[in-house]
Amino acid sequence: MARRPAHTDDVPDQDTNREQDAPKNWRSEAPQGPPPLDSPKPWHTEGLPKKPSDGDRPKRPLWMRFVPWLILLLLFFIGINWFNAVQAPPTISYNEFITQVKADNVQSVHAKGDSIDGVLKKAAIAPDTSETKKGESYTKFTTERPTWANDDLLTELNQHSVTVSAVSLVNQTSPWVSLLVAFVPWILIIGVYVWFMNRMSKGGGMGGLGLKRDVKPVEKDTVRVNFSDVAGIDEVEDEVRQIVDFLRNPDKYRKVGARAPKGVLLEGEPGTGKTLLARATAGEAEVPFFSASASEFIEMIVGVGAQRVRQLFEEARKAAPAIIFIDEIDAIGRSRASNRSLGGNDEREQTLNQILTEMDGFDGTEGVVVMAATNRADVLDPALTRPGRFDRVITVSPPDQKGRAAILRVHTREIPTAKDVNLDQLAASTPGMTGADLANLANEAALQAASRNDTQVYQRDFTNALEQIQLGVARSVVIPDDERRRTAYHESGHALLGMLQKGADPVRKVSIIPRGQALGVTLSTPDTDKYGYDEQYLLGRIVGALGGMAAENAIFGVVTTGAESDLKQATAIARQMVGKWGMSEKVGPVMVLPDDADPRQIGISDETLSTVDGEVRRIIGECQDKAVRLLKEHRAQLDSIATKLLEKETLDENEVYAAAGIDRPRDDSNLSGAEASPAAPAPPPDTPPDDSGTAAPAGPTPPSSLWGPPQGSPSS
């Protein structure tokens, strides 16, 4: 299919039905009110201009929608009642009935309790004493037998050969009840069917069961997010500014034959600001913003997801220029090749195919840009990430120290901070944290200040919040003296070996106060962000991780369960050194341990895997021997740290180095003149939950299995 020309001044746009001759105002006006969003659509919107036809008419209450139907139902029953009254036979007196019986003019009677319905052999004239149809002839009649009558009516009827029938009052059913029993089930069935079809037509699907998600419209005075609310990712901002410029000034690009990217894929770790960046892009360009999570398109009924996609893109085209943002697109955009062997997922594939079709339908003049976010760009379908669909892939990485300081300034704009708060120092103490982590840190600090009824947030609030996020809330448990002493030596072993290793991360804090699941903790973080790690540094990490177990064995001659997470961390580092990073001469510079697959599935032999296991055991054994040797050589320093810990329970950076008698190597080049913070720094955000371990150094993409949380002794 030939691509449509970028210049469309003389060619009418067949897809959008716009007149190309008239000048186009691609930049939308400022929002003037809430958009009409009454349908249960799974996306949210920002900046939609108000449609004049809708005005500010409020949404009708739910009960008002049922009033017309209730009125129609009432009129229906009134009509039935009137019809029955017209067709009812005349009511005659009991005396008139006896007269007709004695005149041998009654053919049959039917008794319902004291009520008697009958049919005459010949028509009779209704006497003046009858209650209805006076003076008219009748053949059918009804009358009431007095309860106190003592005549032998049945004998009288038999003498005149009148056919007699009767029904018990117990089995008598009201005509209204019979009518309801006959019609109500059908009305309910039809109503439920219409309700489900109505939800399906609006894209609600069966999954919601009537609990539709009302989209909150953006009021006209709502302040939208823009680039001033985004910090720490300046390089990424520069990449999306071109999209903003296109949405504002499309003619500038069409003159040189350029078209806007149809799609922009934002990939990065959770919490790095992908959604915020997409909203800021729309806010900066002052265009409507449609956002939805990919999982919200999937329902139980096949085809609902595709219909929702069509609705979303149709509304975005009507509001063009606009931005569509799909979060967690890997929920529906995963590669279809893997599903063929498992039978596939029809609903997910249909939804993905509809997205591909809609993006193919865009041309460069529509002014609609699709932005998507994912944490797993490697699993997306190639048809989705090819040029022409998502033309641009932008990686959003965790911020560096400068970026973290800028993010903290953004998140503390509304927080009254005291003069002692040093955000640059705090940024240096939080390597690896993302924007979401820093926002949570600022909020936790404000909560701590509010709990004391303070009107300002102090530096100690940020320090305590950092410790609480990293370690959990301190537990008030009574620990036996022997276990407390063993924990002190365990943490002292971690700390001392961390100080003795050349190039190791400085020890920030050592504590034997139980927090979370750990009985103690040792925190170590680098002075500056690190982006690469050599073999010597990794071996030092293993030695430090084994320090707690080595100290317990050297002092008490036992090994406790407190070393569980230490062994887990040390083994993970050693396996990656051998199987991923080529740091074993015996295995060689090959990658034999993939992240998301069984090594045997990619052709790795059992012999090679056995070699990897042997090398891992060798590295762990050598590091264990080194840890024991160093602790024996520096036994006096180990005892000094443990004694100080038992006395004070918590030692900060200066105190622990003073107790060991070791000078703390400093690198303050990136601290903006501030001292390195003795506060408890946080590990990288991608660190898996664990009981103990050393806080990880910062890096762009550190393996989650390598950098564990602070070293400590877990509770058993």
Burial of 227 (0-12, 13-18, 19+ CB in 10 A): middle
Spans in the chain with pLDDT lower than 70: 1-66, 84-87, 127-135, 169-177, 179, 198-223, 299-303, 336-347, 361-366, 665-716
- Supply 545's token pair: 């991780």
DSSP 489-530: HHHHHHHHHHHHSTTPPPEEEEE-S-BTTEEEEEEE--SS--
pLDDT at 571: 94
In whole numbers, what is the pLDDT of the chain averaged over residues? 75
Q: What is the pLDDT of residue 175?
A: 66
Q: Report whether 270 belongs to an annotated binding site.
A: yes
Task: Decide whether 89-168 matches 410-466 in CATH topology.
Answer: no
pLDDT of residue 666: 60
Selected from 2.60.320.10, 1.10.8.60, 3.30.70.20, 3.30.420.40, the CATH number assigned to the domain covering 410-466 reads 1.10.8.60
d(CA 494, CA 523): 9
Q: Tell me whether residue 274 is annotated as binding.
A: yes
Residue 232 near residue 435 (C-beta atoms within 8 A): yes
Q: Is 483 one of the annotated binding-site residues?
A: no
Superfamily of domain 225-335+344-393, CATH level 4: P-loop containing nucleotide triphosphate hydrolases (3.40.50.300)
Identify the pLDDT of residue 443.
93
User: Is 272 annotated as ligand-binding?
Assistant: yes
CATH number belonging to domain 89-168: 3.30.720.210
Distance CA 281, CA 313 (A): 18
β-sheet bridge partners, residue 46? 289
The most distant pair of C-alpha atoms in the chain lies apart, rounded to whole Å, by 135
Instruction: List, by residue number, the catalytic residues.
Output: 491
pLDDT of residue 457: 93
CA–centroid distance for 541 within its chain: 36
What would the two tokens of residue 7 be?
């210049």
**Residues 381-402 pLDDT 10s:** 888 888 878 888 888 888 888 8
| Cβ neighbours of 394 (radius 10 Å) | 19
The response to whether 273 counts as a known ligand-binding position is yes
Q: Which residues of 703-713 are buried (b: 16+ CB within 10 A; e: fewer)?
A: ebbbbbbbbbb
Residue 271 is labelled as binding a ligand: yes
Distance CA 667, CA 528 (A): 8
Beta strands in 479-630 (DSSP E): 507-511, 518-524
> What are the backbone angles phi and psi of residue 557, rounded to the nearest 5°?
70, 20
Kindly report whether the peptide bond that precedes residue 321 is cis, defined as omega within 30 degrees of 0. yes
Q: How many Å apart are CA 472 and CA 377, to the nearest integer? A: 32
Say yes or no: domain 474-658 is CATH 1.20.58.760. Answer: yes
Q: In this structure, which long-range contacts are made by residues 304-309, counting pairs with CB atoms below 8 Å and at least 24 apart in sequence?
A: 304/200, 304/203, 304/205, 304/347, 305/332, 305/347, 305/348, 305/350, 305/351, 305/354, 306/350, 306/351, 306/353, 306/354, 307/203, 308/41, 308/42, 308/203, 308/351, 309/351, 309/354, 309/355, 309/358
Whole-number pLDDT of residue 20: 40
- Token representation of residue 443: 């909020």
Element (H or E) spanning 139, and its range?
strand 137-144
Domain ranges of the chain: 89-168, 225-335+344-393, 410-466, 474-658
Burial string for 129-156 (b: 16+ CB within 10 Å, else e) reads ebeebeeeebeebbbebeeeeeeebeee
